With several copies, the nearest count.
Chain A
Amino acid sequence: MPTEPCADAPEVGRETRLQLLRLMLLQRYAEERIMSLYRQGRIVGSVYTGYQQEAVGAGAGLALGPDDVALPLNREQACHYARGVPVAHVLRNFLGKATGPTFGRDGNMHFGVPEHGIFPLVSMLGDLCPVAVGAALAFKRRREPRVALTFFGDGAMSTGDVHEAINLAAVLQVPVVFVVQSNQYAYSTPTNRQTVNTNLAERLRGGWSIACERVDGTDALAVYTAARAAIERARAGGGPQAIEAVTLRGHGHAAHDDARYVPSELRERFQDPIERLAARLAADGLAPAEIDAVRQRAREEVAAALDEAEAAPAPDPATLLHGVYADPISS
């Protein structure tokens, strides 16, 4: 099947389209490098990518305002880039560097970037949702026109934390946006073994009484448009909002998982979000060379970032006890 361009979204200008493309490419290329470093043993532990889900983090991240805050997960590296996090900073974390966002204390996308309004991923699925609600509660109490946005997967929706958080948000009517990464699988478990109704937007509306639009998660313009609308509704006092972005996890759960359990028929139903946006830009009349230039610049940005990250110092074991407490107790 030929690549189907993103549906046109006239309200999304060319600048934004190009920016979305760039954000997705940064994630794509950074993850390519990460995977190869992992295979070489230069990144240790395990590695999760958001391959072919890049539109979701990019679209939702870019729809946020500068004072909004985000709580992204592993699949949403592009959300970090949308918030202005340098690629090198992300890579420093994968590489366990002292000057990375966790000072080498955690790996992967398990980090926050306080200066960009990003809270660190906590692995326990669901744990970030209550945190997002609390941040939104702070905005509401202080009458600040700010929004907290977080993500959870089809799998995480089965956790108590997600339920409690959404219900709490709905009762308190706080400006929080939940983006559901509905990527057909939680690890090896297909969504229909995770929940009876795999239309999660329907579930969210029916069970928690929050607005939830279901969008094509491989269409960056659609995600961006829906996220923007949700964010602005939340900002305007409309209470919590949700979006279900339907995608397919392009890689296995983590680097070790070949995802053999994903049937090829299913794979065929999902297209690459980057190519879809590129096709849209081409249909818009952008010259192929211009698109190639965007790709090229992103590739160069990642390459330079990797050099920078690899040059960063390793953490000093003597610092291990630093920062366990913000106010250390002397004894």
Chain B
Amino acid sequence: MLYIEAIRAALRDALLEDERVFLLGEDIGHFGGAFGVTKGLWEEFGDERVIDTPICEEAFAGAAAGAAWMGERPVVELQFADFISCAFDSIVNVAAKTHWRSGIRLPFVIRAPFGGGVRGGPFHSQCPEGWFIGVAGLKVVCPGSVDDAYGLLRAAIEDDDPVLYFEHKALYRRLDGAAPDRATRTALGKGRIARAGSDATVVTYGAGVDLALRASEGLDVEVLDLRTVWPLDRTLVLESVERTSRVLVLQEPARSSGVAPLVCSLVAEEGFVHLDAPPSIVAPPDTPVPFAPELEDAYLPTPERVRGALEELLAY
């Protein structure tokens, strides 16, 4: 099953199993969504479970919160994660803060197709997860495998907090795997060891997982898939670094944004005594995402770049 199919399966199973689940977004009904993620669901579940909206990200994110307040479990689709900037206010002020200041639960999910490598240019390639790192009250997940595409989405829908679910566009049809079982749930807040190793730790998520595994082939390097990038699975990271004494953070957001600064600062603050080398970061330079293949290929992390940085780290 493809990554994109696992997302669709998770939506379908959630719709089947829980009346409170419904989908909200632009062109997700008869059209099946810009990337076809919701294909067939409108036909199967009808107008009241798969709801096309006007173009108003802020309003439908807020409406999802309102429906969640009333006990529903809406799942919003953004056409591209880039447009999360349009719903930013509602996410950080309504979704994030409501439980803390009222005890009202807002169980809803925003699905956002993110990431580059699809020649989308600066407005259709962004990795906006960094904006939400540190926003108390939100949970932010980024599946990096077919299993997690399913398991994280099911868990996010069942979770009682608002969850941002960033699905990587370039993985939709690149990752293939066994169809996840209907009972598969990936616990929020828990990363996993994608491959055990002892000489260094690569902390990554999303498209970085596959990339890190490929780039570190033949090395005795541990690859951590964070799965939930906020709140961080601190224990997983710190325990691994304690064992390996070397850490590399690999991310697709530009160097000074995203998840790497927080992970690095955590390791530096709390894992300092274990470190035998400075933490290393592989990430694009601090620019928007460029369009032309020559530029985007230079911008994005590649297996070679990750390998190079790893070898340097191991040689330190």
Contacts and interface: CB of A to CB of B under 8 A. Distances in A.
Contacts, number: 264
Interface in B31-67: 31, 34, 48, 51-56, 58-67
A314 interface: yes
A138 B71 CA distance: 8
A131 B54 contact: no
A13 interface: no
Judged by DSSP, the binding face of A is loop
B294 A135 contact: no
Interface in A275-331: 314-317, 320-321, 323-327, 329-331
Interface string B89-120: 11001100111111111010000000000111
Interface stretch (A56-64, A81-89, A161-169): A161-169
A106 B54 contact: no
Nearest to A114: B104
A104 B291 contact: yes
Given A130-B59, A158-B55, A159-B56, A123 B123 contact: yes
Contacts of A106: 101, 121-123, 290-291
B102 A102 contact: yes
Contact of B298 (A45, A320, A330): A320
B287 A324 contact: yes
Interface stretch (B201-209, B225-233, B243-251, B303-311): B225-233
A165 B65 CA distance: 13
A119 interface: yes
B286 interface: yes
Contact of A45 (B55, B64, B121): B121
Given A104-B295, A324-B136, A168 B188 contact: no
A160 interface: yes
A196 B31 CA distance: 21
Sort A-B residue pairs by CB-CB distance and give the 6 closest, nearest first.
A134-B66, A130-B62, A329-B189, A96-B292, A134-B63, A317-B298
Interface of B: 22, 26-27, 29-31, 34, 48, 51-56, 58-72, 74, 79, 82-83, 85-86, 89-90, 93-94, 97-105, 107, 118-124, 136-137, 139, 159-161, 188-190, 228, 231-235, 285-288, 290-295, 297-299
Interface of A: 44-46, 69, 96-97, 101-108, 110-112, 114, 119-120, 122-125, 127, 129-139, 141, 148, 155-156, 158-161, 164-165, 167-168, 171-172, 186-189, 193-195, 261, 314-317, 320-321, 323-327, 329-331
